[in-house]
Amino acid sequence: MTATAPWTSAKPTALLVLADGTVIEGKGIGATGKVQAEVVFNTALTGYQEIMTDPSYLGQIVTFTFPHIGNIGANDEDIEDLTPAARHGAVGVIFKADITDPSSYRAAKDLDTWLKARGIIGMCGIDTRALTAWIRENGAPNAVIAHDPNGVFDIEALKAEAKAWSGLEGLDLAKVASSGQTSRWSEKPWVWNEGYDELADADTTHHVVALDYGVKRNILRLFTGLGCKVTVMPATTSAEDVLAQKPDGIFLSNGPGDPAATGEYAVPVIQELIKSDIPLFGICLGHQMLGLALGATTEKMHQGHHGANHPVKDHTTGKVEIVSMNHGFAVDSKSLPEGVEETHISLFDGTNCGLRLTGKPVFSVQHHPEASPGPQDSHYLFRRFINLVREKKGEPVLAER
């Protein structure tokens, strides 16, 4: 990988310094400063604002393989983290081209201004194809991204910081990304030219408790879109407190970090919730921790899956879906115990993307069926979950699609 940038400037104003000592020069954008993180690449063509505010990216620098970023600007509607004041999401971003001027009627501000306000450090003007190829060959590296408008850097110190960072393995970030208190979510899915409506209490049909390990807003919206009252509870909530809410269904959310680390306190809770026989559904980190609770193991992936164009096969229907992905850990398929069925697999590499517990209303998926950003092929999974709730209550089920 080349260590120089394809753009011309008297002095670089941003550096990406990898743990192996590689220094990549670029043009600084967004916030100034420096941060240690893991570098990954995302292959999505759209939805950059949703990607950068996805709490599952906490502790990571996102390299966008699509070269032109910023054309729709930024707004207050396409944010995915539940507590935006805390700015949970990607800590750094890397683009090939300069930020494009916004040309969307929905734009409230340009992307560079938004990055500064969010505290996201960025750089552009580098060969993102070369960086992506390096990650594919060598794995997602630990690094430091630094931005100084004056181009003043202590390169040796940055190399030492990149090399010294311990990385995401063993790191519990769910406590950081989680909301700190129990709250009610009532916002419904977005409607073109109308924005978001609120679900009235009188219109609710079932009660879902969402354990928040770094939940995305659109997941909660799809529950309210199906008429569910949604109660969001912190990552460290006890099983007793969850059950005290008298939920009809329990949801385990997505989130950042190592599932084994978060699982030290979350897995015993999940095991107790499984015993309750209340329908349970997990996504991403929630899927991984459900796997741990059922006796499987998780593993750090070489480069992870990040994009909105990943093919996944649902063994329960035989259909292939194009889905959003964002994960650097996975459930080891070979470790699934008897009584736990693999329901989905990635058609890129065969890794596990879904499971269900035989004889129990319990299932989960690795990908992001809420499609924010990304295709809506997997929206049916929310109806599948609500149907488990309806079956439990003796109610007629909905068509999945």
Whether 124 is catalytic: no
Q: Is 284 a catalytic residue?
A: yes
C-alpha–C-alpha distance, residues 267 and 168, integer Å:
19
Residue 395 one-letter amino acid:
E
Closest CA to 284 of 252, 240, 308: 252
Q: Which of 287, 344, 368, 379 is catalytic?
A: 368
Question: Residue 320: what residue type?
Answer: V
Q: Are 148 and 32 in contact (CB under 8 A)?
A: yes
HSE-up of residue 348 (Cα within 13 Å, Cβ side): 14
Peptide bond before residue 141 is cis, with ω within 30 degrees of 0 = no
Annotated catalytic residue within 284, 310, 344, 379 = 284
Active site includes 338?
no
Query: What whole-number distance in Å separates Cα of residue 389 and Cα of residue 318?
Result: 24
Pairing type for strands 60-64 and 33-42 reads parallel
The side-by-side arrangement of strands in the sheet containing 228-234 is: 183-185, 228-234, 206-212, 249-252, 280-283, 362-365, 352-357, 340-346, 298-314, 319-331
Alpha carbons 384 and 344: distance in angstroms, whole number: 14
> Would you name the residues annotated as active-site residues?
284, 368, 370
